[in-house]
Amino acid sequence: SLFNEKESIEVVTYKNDIGKLLISEINGFNFNISENNPTILVRNKNSCKFLAFITSLCSDYEINIIKIQSSPQKINNIMVIELDKL
pLDDT digits (tens, 9 = 90+) for 21-68: 888 998 888 988 888 899 998 888 776 788 899 899 999 999 999 999
pTM of the entire predicted model: 0.77
Name the amino acid, one letter, at 42: V
**Domain range enclosing 52:** 2-83
What pLDDT band is residue 83 in, cutting at 50, 70 and 90? very high
Provide the domain count of the chain. 1
Q: How many CA atoms lie within 13 A of 39 on its CB side?
A: 18
